[in-house]
Amino acid sequence: MNFIGDNMKTTEYGFKVDTLGDVDTAYYIQQGRDARNEYIAERMNALTTWLKSLKPARQQKSFNSTRSFGTV
How much of the chain, in percent, has pLDDT values that exceed 70?
64
DSSP state of 67: S
- pLDDT, tens digit, 9 for 90 and up, residues 17-48: 888 889 999 999 999 999 999 999 999 999 99
Look over the chain and give the mean of its residue pLDDT values, rounded to a whole number. 80
- Whether the pLDDT of residue 1 is over 50: the answer is no
Question: Is-above-0.75 flag for pTM?
Answer: no
pLDDT at site 10: 78
- Cα 64 from Cα 72, distance rounded (Å): 16
pLDDT at site 54: 84
The full 3-state SS of 1-47, as one line of letters, equals CCCCCCCCEECCCCCEECCCCCECHHHHHHHHHHHHHHHHHHHHHHH
